[in-house]
Amino acid sequence: MVDSSHGTSARDALEALLGGWSPERAETARGLAHAARLLDADLMGARSPSSAVMRGVEPEAARALDGASGLEEVALHLARRARPRTAHGALPSPAHVSPRAVPDEKAQRALGLLIASARRGAADTGPLAEQRWHLWTARLARWSGAWSAARRALDELEAGAARRTDPPGVWLAAAAFEERLALALDRGDRRSARELLAERPEHDGPTGALLRWAAGDDEAAHRIGDADPGDWAGRALRGEPKAPLLVELDLDGAAAAEGLERASVGARAVVLAALEERGGRIISADVAPGLAEALQPWSARARDAHLDVSGPLRRARPGAQAAVLVRGAMRPRDGIAIEASCLGGAASAARAILCVPLPGAGGIGGWLWVEFDHRLLPPPCQIASLAVAAEAALARQRGREARAWGSPIESALGKLARRRWALLTPSGAPRGAPASSGGAGALGGLRDREAWPASRALREGTPVRYGPVLRSRAHRQPSDRGADTLFERSSSGAAIPLRVGAVPVAAVVVESTRRGDARPENVERWERGLGRAAHEVFAAALDERLRRRGGFGVDVEAPDGRAFVEWLARAGVASGAQVFEIAGPPGAGRMTAAAALHEARVWFGARGPLTLVAPHPCMSALGRAIGRATRPGATVVVSELEGRSTLERGVAERWRSGAAEQNTALVLITRPRGEAGEEGSPRANARWDLPALEGRRHWIPSVARAMTRAIEGRHVTPPLPEAALAALWRQRWGRGVRGLAGLLRSAAAAGPITAQSLGAAARELDLEWRERIPPREATVRDLAAAAWTARTSRGRRNAAGAARLMGWDPSTFAARARAAGLQGIEAARRTLA
């Protein structure tokens, strides 16, 4: 520690200074001087940490902390509640965990009051304290969207801070600058933020660092630190272990964007792909010229990209959640996924990818794929606008495609030379494409504004005949000319309500270029035909929307099929805060039924997402999760509340009190009544009991066909052979529809589905596979289901077919059916109903 070369001269100097001192005093002074020299050397060579330091740090720290809390600590607590999730800017964490939680909705107001009182008190303390509260005023104003108030507070703060050169003043000025950056980012004004930052290259606060990093400066990453930037992109960037990769976007109420141009979001590529049965299809693409050639190979790769577990398509879930992938040292997995999936590949990888799933039939109807050369992702509101534009483009595309459920309407209307029809939902949009041109080639586009007959038919529940022929010349207005029919150049028409049970689910508008086609007798005939087809049309419409989920497949002819469709229609049309209950054993298809209920609500105009809330034994935690999922038009499904009637009641009550003003639905998935010893959910508006799949074998063909349609797009072609259906029909299905779906998927992966491939797949999956239902195990319901499933197209009994399903010979089946009293199809229907 002490340099000995200097020792001699130091000793000489000391001896010179000690001249004239008494020997004892000089001796003491020498000792002290030596000790002092060691002490000085210790101070000069203060590079190594001392073990002595730890002693006493903690008690001293504890003493120092006692008087240190203050209003600002309280403000930090409130701010954590009051700050919107999408706000930018770093915020220090409070030093202590507050024992008292403030409800989110009250936090902003409490913070406002605190700031106001603190500012009054700080005015006496000094200008610095007052300016600190200006900073808080600016923050609060920014969080509540009052941009100009925030700017005014910042102006005041900066004017005060500019006059100070002491360290606190410098801090304050820097904090104000951070706040200004966050304000610009919150407003979506990235250009201003970058210009501000360019003016102050020396600034290295976390928001500035985030902005620099986002603009491509990889070195800035370490300066972001652990400060909480608060915004969604920041969370993704920092790679918090608990941070969700999926970002919720509120699509409701967002303004429609003008288009999907990449310039509007500063992206290098914006691609809209529609998901169809046999893969995705690009509907619109705006990519940088350098990437134009990459689009074709990319689309080929992207078709199966949803199979890649870590890829963006798998991370984007239905229900308006977007996947955000950002390449950087902090997120190596994102980097790998981006290189594997982006347009340019690894050679020209994007810096960030945004993948927005778009709602459609069966959950996801398409994807919006946006690639960036930088990490400066657009704010959530802009992404929402983009998604709305993409959704509109997708809907336009779909509108041009024929509906699968047009054929029941076609056959119900019968042949008529010059008629055309359209199906209008209660929300007013034309849902059907013209099914017949009548050979005249005179059909124009559908016109939404002429939907009055349909509205009236839906309102009154009776057919409405109309057309220029019904108006006298005296009453006709000039504006009426050619403007009172749905199709162009129609001369007669009728709107016929399509009723499922008592609920008008749609109106079919039939028009003709001939004046006499909407005669009362014709309309009456159409009404009868459509009345028979209504259940099928509604079920097929829901089925089409649910196809991607697989396994809906309602058999409306089944004894309990019509009742289920009617229940869906009643549930779908109900408005306000509704609580539904779907009861059944696991694997009965309860989630699919809940999804069907959601689609029924969408049919009747609900525009919210379908959200599954994981069960939580804590009432308040569950309540919070449900609260987060609740938004106008949403359907929130809470599963696995089996046997917890108190919880069910609590959830239902909270739902009613919290969501009564919105058109929302809560679906409780429960066990069958009696099994859990409960009386069901007493608060539910409506309840549907789903028996186990084994107990309703007559559903297996339609469910299996629907599932096969969902998976066949990638593997094999339909239809399922009869032998395969029969083989599926007679199994136990302990795992219900999940087991059925798993087996079909496994068999389809090996090739076309046959009875043999199903058997092989079952052996591979180690499932029990039986060639026949043991006669001793067969129940009356099994016999009735076999008789019903195997009935002829005219509704007659087919004992041979039924015996094939059971795996028996016809005489055994006939004897057992006779013994069970199942003499005809009607008896089977009654048993199953």
Partner 1 sequence: MDREPRCLHARPRSDPAAWSLPAGWQTHVATRERDALARAFAEADPLGLRALCGERAVARSFLLDLDDLQRRLIVRLARALAADGSPSPSIPMPGSTHAVEVWLRALTDEIVDEAVGRREERSDPAARDVFALLGAPLGLDASLLREGCARFNRAAESDRRAYLALLRGGCTLESAAAREGVSALIFAARARRALEGLAGAGAGAARG
Ranges within 731-750 binding partner 1 (CB under 8 A) = none
| Partner residues linked to 366 by β-bridges | 274, 358
Q: Which of residues 39-78 bind partner 1 (CB under 8 A)?
A: 39-40, 42-50, 52-54, 56-58, 60-62, 64-65, 68-70, 72-73
Min CB(190)–partner 1 separation in Å: 21
CA atoms within 13 A on the CB side of 235: 17
3-class state of residue 285 by DSSP:
strand
**C-beta of residue 587 within 8 angstroms of C-beta of residue 736:** yes
Q: Which is nearer to partner 1, 21 or 452 (CB)?
A: 21
Q: Which of residues 184-203 bind partner 1 (CB under 8 A)?
A: 202-203
Min CB(84)–partner 1 separation in Å: 19
Q: Which is nearer to partner 1, 178 or 678 (CB)?
A: 178
223 touches partner 1 (CB under 8 A) = yes
Q: Which is nearer to partner 1, 203 or 262 (CB)?
A: 203
Which of the stretches 143-151, 174-182, 601-609, 749-757 binds partner 1 when contact is defined by CB under 8 A? 174-182
**C-beta of residue 361 within 8 angstroms of C-beta of residue 545:** yes
Containing 505, the helix (H) or strand (E) segment is strand 503-512
Cis peptide before 672 (omega within 30 of 0): no
- Strands 686-689, 578-583: pairing is parallel
Q: Which is nearer to partner 1, 73 or 286 (CB)?
A: 73
**C-beta of residue 508 within 8 angstroms of C-beta of residue 498:** yes
Q: Which is nearer to partner 1, 92 or 332 (CB)?
A: 92
> In sequence order, what E strands does 347-416 have?
352-360, 363-372
**C-beta of residue 488 within 8 angstroms of C-beta of residue 420:** no
Burial letters for 718-736: b for 16+ Cβ neighbours within 10 Å, e otherwise?
eebeeebbbbbbbbebeeb
Where does 254-327 have alpha helices with state H?
Answer: 295-302, 312-315
Give the one residue of 107, 154, 158, 178 binding partner 1; rule: CB under 8 A.
Answer: 178
Q: Which is nearer to partner 1, 130 or 694 (CB)?
A: 130
In whole angstroms, give the CA distance from residue 294 to residue 350.
Answer: 13
Min CB(111)–partner 1 separation in Å: 13
- Nearest CA to 436 out of 449, 422, 426 is that of 422
Which of the stretches 185-193, 219-227, 483-491, 525-533 binds partner 1 when contact is defined by CB under 8 A? 219-227
Min CB(578)–partner 1 separation in Å: 45
Q: Which is nearer to partner 1, 173 or 384 (CB)?
A: 173
Q: What x/- string results for residues 118 through 147 when contact with partner 1 is judged by CB under 8 A?
A: --------------x--xx-----------
Phi/psi of residue 797, nearest 5 degrees:
-75, 145
Min CB(542)–partner 1 separation in Å: 52
Residue in the structure block whose two tokens are 């609590």: 650
Q: Which is nearer to partner 1, 5 or 477 (CB)?
A: 5
| Partner residues linked to 689 by β-bridges | 583
- Nearest CA to 527 out of 498, 550, 548 is that of 498
Min CB(88)–partner 1 separation in Å: 13
| Partner residues linked to 495 by β-bridges | 464, 509
3-state helix, strand, coil in the chain (%, to 5): 50, 10, 35
**C-beta of residue 495 within 8 angstroms of C-beta of residue 457:** yes
Q: Which is nearer to partner 1, 242 or 776 (CB)?
A: 242
774 touches partner 1 (CB under 8 A) = no
In whole angstroms, give the CA distance from residue 298 to residue 310.
Answer: 17
Q: Which of residues 1-40 bind partner 1 (CB under 8 A)?
A: 3, 5-10, 13-14, 16-18, 22, 24-25, 27-29, 31-40
Q: Which of residues 73-112 bind partner 1 (CB under 8 A)?
A: 73, 90, 92-95
Min CB(446)–partner 1 separation in Å: 58
Min CB(3)–partner 1 separation in Å: 7
Angle at 769 between CA 763 and CA 770, to 5 degrees: 150
Q: In the structure encoding, which two tokens stand for residue 351, read together?
A: 């810096």
Q: Name residue 808's amino acid.
A: W
CA atoms within 13 A on the CB side of 698: 26
Q: Which is nearer to partner 1, 26 or 692 (CB)?
A: 26
Which of the stretches 166-174, 422-430, 639-647, 695-703 binds partner 1 when contact is defined by CB under 8 A? 166-174
Q: Which is nearer to partner 1, 173 or 597 (CB)?
A: 173
Q: Which is nearer to partner 1, 60 or 277 (CB)?
A: 60
Min CB(129)–partner 1 separation in Å: 9
Give the one residue of 85, 222, 476, 628 binding partner 1; rule: CB under 8 A.
Answer: 222
Min CB(138)–partner 1 separation in Å: 11
